Chain A
Amino acid sequence: MIPERFLNALLLGGLLGVALLADWRDEPFTITLATRATILAIAATGLNLALGLGGLVSLGHAVFFGLGGYAMGILAFHAQTYAPVELGPLAIEGTTSMPLIWVTAIAVSSLAALVIGLLSLRTSGVYFIMITLAFGQMFFYFAVSWSAYGGEDGLSIYVRNGFPGLNTLDPIQFFSLCFVLLCLVLVLWSRLARSPFGLALNAARQVPARVETVGLDPKRLKLAAFVLSGAITGLAGALFADLNRFVSPSMFSWQLSGELIVLVILGGVARLCGPVAGAMLFVALEHWLGGLTEFWHVWLGAILLLIVLFAKGGLVGLLSGRPASHD
């Protein structure tokens, strides 16, 4: 059994190592895969905040992923066409600067998370799962029929957006950027988990009645977690869109929300590097099984099933020998 702290280092080191090795051997596609895993890990770490610490099973996190994606798509599209975004009296210039796009993505998705969270947190349990799903579907159908930005076809951005001092079109440079962001998000997550807020949130997940009797409002704690969670997933969405240089309503689909949950559980709920492990395994399986057989979904399904039934605590739980910290 491997201590979890060491395992975390191993996972992150492994991810970085794969990308560096691929760069050295000139296999840019492997770097792209590593970047994909990195970005999905950021998105899932966001979800892990709501789901792992706050106990909020959101089947609508694709909303924030998609909003981040569209924040990138719309800003870059307007920069591409040199027409400002018209918001009533306000006209905002498009941009191809990643930091600006990230700020927008985070702002928009936090705002959406605030509204969705306020409404959804009136419910709990299965109802919460379903109301978040409903919001996801609303955004999905809206995006499908929003013809100004491509509707179902989505939006193609021909050149990856820029970051000062980097050539983002170089796979390894873009990977490094995403990897640094992943590390920052992980640091934030672990600080949060140990902070007074994390302590209160953790208690709010387990015994809301207790949290109330010490004078705290569990709903407000959960709402704050949901907003932070949405913001992180939104950032990942912007990166994902930049990786593909493309956004489409499929970023809002409920399957994507499901996949994010899969990533978290696969790796280990409420574990710092659970989402990282989950994303790496998922991308590897997708790539490797997809190459083996046309019917690879069957095998992916079987593997997921085995993990749920026999490896509680996910991959990180399995490897660190510590069973689920909670379920």
Chain B
Amino acid sequence: MNKLVCAAAALALTVTVAEAATKVGMITTLSGGGAGLGIDVRDGFMLAIKQSGRDDIEVVIEDDQQKPDIAVQLSDKMIQSEKVDVLTGIIWSNLAMAVVPAATGQGVFYLSPNAGPSQLAGAGCSPLYFNVAWQNDNLHEAAGAWANQTGYQNSFILAPNYPAGKDALTGYKRMYEGGLAGELYTELGQTDYAAEIAQIRASGADSVFFFLPGGMGISFLKQYADSGVDLPVIGPAFSFDQGILQAVGAAALGVVNTSQWSKDIDNETNKAFVETFQAEYGRLPSLYASQGFDTANLLISALDKAEPADKEAFQAALEEADFSSTRGDFEFGPNHHPIQDIYAREVIQEGDVFTNKIIGVALEDHADAYAADCKM
């Protein structure tokens, strides 16, 4: 795609843009146990739309109940009945795998505010699919890199026994150069980690890496803090996110986690985002909220240049990523996945509130490992 075509397309479209409203379909999780993540993405997204002051963007929001079949049904509805131009919102990789290939196959753009399964970054990539958050492995890779920087030699690593869990451990090991004291797969949805903690205690490890999203992470951290095992812990941001950090409480203090976003990233966009989000919703924004916010701003930046109906032009506009991200520098790699810095954060207490503070950069301008497999 060259600049000339792009400019021509943009010119051609200025004629029709006046009355054509863009329809965005958001399929996200708003009920059940995982609703917190979807609500954050939605709120971040809608905040950006509101701030843009644009009234030509219509967002249709539906609850997928964290069920793949419902998500597929909703995407069919949005594509066939609502005739949306752009889809977004899915939180979970398995739901994304159910929806995205079919959606892009039907010629609809998909902007992912959270899930980044490896298939969609590699062989299954699509020109219409953009990931605004991360490829699933990224934060785990950063954790591995940070472990090297800190000088850990003997990590104990654990994750749930499902594909994202396996990806997590693979991601960590991809960057991590030390030895492994142990490697465990736990049951999905497990709530008691006493047995695993006992194994960690007995393993002689010098550090622990874990990926346990949602309630699993809360349980693990509380039990770990109480166990008397005091090895340093490192994990991806998902278990230390603003939404659930309050439920973990003091048990999380001092834990290092890797994230592409933090509320103390020093740039104007981020400062304004944190402030306005708090003013609008009365709570601190989370990682997911920032991803929703960035996704909406990317969309708006592309809409300024092209119409989704002109697929090539719109794709080019999205590829430029010409928006100011809460993360600072942001650009897309050849497979439409972010190239970005990933930070190491530490959990701290500010008054009554538990939150994160950046302590360093784990990986700079990091892209994912699958880009080479992507042929678009």
Contact = CB atoms under 8 A, between A and B. Distances in A.
A150 B97 CA distance: 10
Contacts of A248: 68, 94, 98
Interface stretch (B158-166, B196-204, B250-258, B345-353): B158-166
B72 A246 contact: yes
Given A32-B77, A147-B166, A151-B162, A246 B98 contact: yes
Contacts of B162: 144-145, 151-153
Nearest to B30: A294
A171 B117 CA distance: 29
B63 interface: yes
Interface string A134-169: 000000010011010011111010100000000000
Interface string A62-85: 000000000000000000000000
A29 B63 CA distance: 16
A151 B164 CA distance: 10
Contacts of B166: 147
B94 A153 contact: yes
Contacts of B76: 28-29, 32
B356 interface: no
Contacts of B105: 158
Nearest to A240: B69
Contacts of B30: 294
B39 to A, nearest CB: 9
Contacts of B81: 27-30
Interface residues of B, number: 28
Main secondary structure of the interface of B (DSSP, over half): helix
B60 to A, nearest CB: 10
A145 B80 contact: no
B77 A153 contact: no
B161 A145 contact: yes
A296 B162 CA distance: 30
B77 A244 contact: no
Interface in B73-125: 73, 76-77, 80-81, 93-94, 97-98, 101-102, 105, 117
B278 interface: no
A171 B73 CA distance: 12
Nearest to A32: B76
Nearest to A151: B163
Contacts of B188: 144, 152
Contacts of B63: 290, 294
A158 B97 contact: no
Interface in B1-42: 30-31
B283 interface: no
A190 B166 CA distance: 49
Contact of B80 (A29, A251, A297): A29
A245 B72 contact: yes
B67 interface: yes
Interface string A236-274: 000010001110101100000000000000000000000
B77 A156 contact: no
A24 interface: no
A303 B51 CA distance: 40
B164 A152 contact: yes
A250 B94 CA distance: 11
Interface in B38-74: 62-63, 67-69, 72-73
B98 A154 contact: yes
A6 interface: no
A295 interface: yes
B150 to A, nearest CB: 31
B31 A295 contact: yes
Interface of A: 27-30, 32-33, 36, 141, 144-145, 147, 150-154, 156, 158, 171, 240, 244-246, 248, 250-251, 290, 294-297
Interface of B: 30-31, 62-63, 67-69, 72-73, 76-77, 80-81, 93-94, 97-98, 101-102, 105, 117, 161-164, 166, 187-188
Minimum-distance CB pairs A-B, first 3? A152-B162, A29-B81, A28-B80
22 contacts: A27-B81, A28-B76, A28-B80, A29-B76, A144-B188, A145-B161, A152-B94, A153-B117, A153-B162, A154-B97, A156-B97, A156-B98, A156-B102, A158-B102, A240-B69, A244-B72, A244-B98, A245-B102, A248-B68, A248-B98, A250-B67, A294-B31
